Structure 1
Amino acid sequence: MLSLNLYGAPFYLVSAFLFLFAVFQTLVRNRSVVDVNRAIELFAVFFAIAVVSYDVSNRPFDMEGDTAVYINFFNDLNSGLENPFQTFEPGFIGIVRLFGYLSLDYQSFFYLITFVFLWSYYFLIKAVFGAQSRWSLFIFAAVLFYPFFLSLTANVIRQGFAMCFINLSIYCSVRGYWNRGAIYTLLAALFHKSSIVYFPVILFRRVVFKVGVSGLVVLWLSVSLASYLKLFVLLVAVLFDLSSSYGLAVNYSDLDGVDYITGFRWDFWVFSSVAIVLLVVLKWLGGELNKREAYIFYVCALLSCLHIAMFDVAYNDRFGVYSWIYYPLELAYVIRAISNNFANGQRRFYAQERSIPIKQGEKF
């Protein structure tokens, strides 16, 4: 098996350019060049996405992960051969057949997945931070090196495509288009059934905001304790049996037939707990979280709790990725909030100093 090495020299050159241009945007704040900066930023992002997508699409056949499995599936399906996969999401089947109908190979398919995913993530960053924010390029460049982006591009082909629609769903939610967000969530489920976990969060968004940060912390502590004590094992078995009775195949229910460690894992628990920590820090910095921009923090916190509850399911990291993939965006949002609070504190301090009357004869 080859090591997980997706990128070549062109990617690193493009990434260096992204960071340098982001620094330039931060240092140069001349309003007269705003439109020029935005045009160059779009070109830089497009070029970077094109290079990364090309490198990912030309990955080795025997790369670690599910690459070979999906390549064989793609070729078998378009050759009319039988494949060991008995059930797949109709959206994924349809797009694979479409590529075969157009005589496009699997490399074009992998290219499309990476290309669309990165663009959807970039649009989400712009929605959360604002169209003119200087944070966008820093976050986007960080995502390219983020290990859970590698997981989506190297291992999880179906989930990677589904995440494109999830990104658009959260983008619409940030913009206030809740109905569109729900539709995109349902479309995501056509490519990976597990994406349906986003739908209740959008459908019951008002209830989620009423629960608040304190309620989510209590939920996280309760779920963590129950997972540690293995109280979810029976519940998971019941849910799998119930889904099977409705004709829904669950690929991860056979614990004995897969080479995967299940049960409570401290490393996964720590990764998922980061979402709760970031939400608490944001609450501490900004008081009541009633802005749409904070919605993604609630989403990640709830899905992190779900992942902790699913530790007894094989390949439960597939659920963890739904939350982990947004950590760069969330972390940058918290850092910006800290920076803004510090800057506001400095301004208030200097304003108070200027307003303090100096008594006669008083020296400094």
Structure 2
Amino acid sequence: MSLIPLEYYTEVFINAVLIISIIVLVHTSGNTGYEVRSRRFNLAAVFFVFILLLLYMGLRPISGYYFGDMLTYARNFETLTSGGFVREKDLGFSLLFKFSSMIMSVEWFFLLCAFLYILPLYIAVRRWHHDYAFLAFLALIGSFSFWGYGTNGIRAGLASSFFICALSYRKNIPVMIGWLILSLSFHKSMILPILAFALTFIYNKPKTYLLGWFVAIVLSASMGSFWENLFMGLGLSDDRFSNYLSNTENLHQFSRTGFRWDFLLYSSVAVVVGYLYIAKFKFKDKFYHQLYNTYVICNAFWIMVIRVAFSNRFAYLSWFMMALVIVYPLLKHKMFRLQYSKIGYVLFIYIGFTYVMYYLLVAR
């Protein structure tokens, strides 16, 4: 039995992250970021929040009503435990699923999944930002899609975390490729961000990709369902890809379908802010250009299929990178006077938007 009623479980997480962002805002407003106490605060906070989040997410009660696919995973796990057969199309996740069923209970399996979801993010931000990793870590866990893909779309969540960890090994190509293969083995949809990232090694001009993003909006808005039918006909992925494009069941999960201008506006924040870092503030970090271009490519693809019932699943292929696009330059490059304080405001606004979106779209 959970100490926190299931109906409030997600809400407690959302409110806790908002409270942490307020604490960070107070901290950054009163410090420059160069003090020893600032480093100590960040080092202690990132470890403390990592442990608390792992336990809170990993030890959540099993529920299909509140955590979507979690119950399906649990039933399949019990089937394997009792000697039955479960077909999983993603090899990496299938191996994890089968091996776990032989040595642990289903409760330990979900704790393991939470660990594998959160740890790669922790590793990535520590590699990029060292003593100030907590600020990037908070942005990642405060993202609109973070909780849902840790408790519901678990395979896709794990795959995206492996992808982010892969990016942190940008200068160690063999290790990076290993993480990318692992990511793809957990969810085939990761082929899109992987190919997009690979493309940036060949061509890495943000202005060109930004232009392509605007073209995608025009084409999607003007040509209706043509692009969904085209991609479905090409069979770019397995059966799940076609199902996402054509499925009309469970539309009650969304306030409406069609061209989602509200979600497009949300996506555009990272597009605009990232380009301002590059063009206006001259942030000439080659890796950041690759990260930004990867986000723009993946988001442009989602725009092309924006009308489908489950387009949020395609949106996630860019949204999971949004926090990095917004926060990474602020922790790498001096752009503003009193920048440490401004980082606190950016985090508060970013997480505050997640808070508002939750109560507008999910909790109502």
TM-score (norm 1): 0.75
Comparing 94-103 and 20-29, the one that deviates more:
20-29
Change (3 A) 1:114 1:282: same
> What's the offset of the Cα at 1:295?
2.7
**Are 1:285 and 2:248 matched, yes or no?**
no
Partner of 2:65: 62
Partner of 1:119: 119
The superposition leaves residues 216-271 of structure 1 with CA deviations (integer Å, 9 ceiling, x where unpaired) of 2210111011111235x344334334438x97553424334453655321122112
The superposition leaves residues 118-139 of structure 1 with CA deviations (integer Å, 9 ceiling, x where unpaired) of 22112222333x3233xx2233
Partner of 1:228: 221
Partner of 2:356: none
User: Would you say the 8 A contact 1:161–1:191 is kept in 2?
Assistant: yes
> What's the offset of the Cα at 1:49?
3.7
The superposition leaves residues 285-329 of structure 1 with CA deviations (integer Å, 9 ceiling, x where unpaired) of 332634324432222121111111121444221221232223333
TM-score (norm 2): 0.75
Partner of 1:160: 157
Partner of 1:101: 102
> What's the offset of the Cα at 1:103?
3.3
Identity of aligned residues (%): 18
Runs of 4+ aligned structure 1 residues displaced above 6 Å come to 33-39
AA partner of residue 224 (structure 1): I
Alignment of 1:1-364 (within 5 A): 3=7, 5-6=9-10, 12=16, 16=20, 19=23, 23=27, 26=31, 29=34, 40=44, 43-55=47-59, 57-81=60-84, 88-105=89-106, 107-128=107-128, 130-133=129-132, 136-173=133-170, 176-209=171-204, 212-230=205-223, 233-243=225-235, 250=241, 251-259=243-251, 262-287=257-282, 289-335=284-330, 340-342=335-337
Number of residue pairs matched by the alignment? 329
AA partner of residue 135 (structure 2): F
Change (3 A) 1:23 1:68: same
AA partner of residue 131 (structure 2): Q
Distance 1:35 1:327 in 2: 25
User: Would you say the 8 A contact 1:307–1:320 is kept in 2?
Assistant: yes
> What's the offset of the Cα at 1:37?
6.5
Distance 1:100 1:50 in 2: 20
Change (3 A) 1:88 1:258: farther
Distance 1:193 1:77 in 2: 23
> What's the offset of the Cα at 1:202?
3.2
> What's the offset of the Cα at 1:279?
2.0
**Which fold has the larger relative contact order, with Cα–Cα distance below 8 Å and residues 6 or more apart in sequence?**
2
> What's the offset of the Cα at 1:63?
0.9
Partner of 2:348: none
Q: Look up the SS of the partner of 2:65 in the other structure.
A: coil
Gaps of 5+ in 2: 340-364
User: Would you say the 8 A contact 1:170–1:181 is kept in 2?
Assistant: yes
Instruction: Point out the structure with max Rg over C-alpha.
Output: 1
Gaps of 5+ in 1: 345-364
> What's the offset of the Cα at 1:283?
1.6
Distance 1:17 1:256 in 2: 38
Q: Look up the SS of the partner of 2:306 in the other structure.
A: coil
